[in-house]
Amino acid sequence: RYREEDFLRSLPTKLIVGLASLFLSMATMIVSFVVALMTLVGANKQWIKAQFMLLAMIPLGMFGVLQFPVLLEIFCSTYF
Structure confidence at residue 23 (pLDDT): 92
Query: 42: helix, coil or strand?
Result: coil
Q: How many domains does the chain fold into? A: 1
| pTM, full prediction | 0.80
Structure confidence at residue 69 (pLDDT): 93
Mean pLDDT of 9-20: 92
Domain range for 39 is 4-79
Residue 67 CB neighbour total at 10 angstroms: 14
Burial (Cβ within 10 Å: 0-12, 13-18, ≥19) of residue 5? exposed
Among candidate residues 75, 78, 80, the one with its CA nearest the CA of residue 7:
78
Query: What sign for the dihedral angle of Cα 69, 71, 77, 79?
Result: negative
Which of 1-5, 50-54, 72-76 comes out lowest in average pLDDT? 1-5
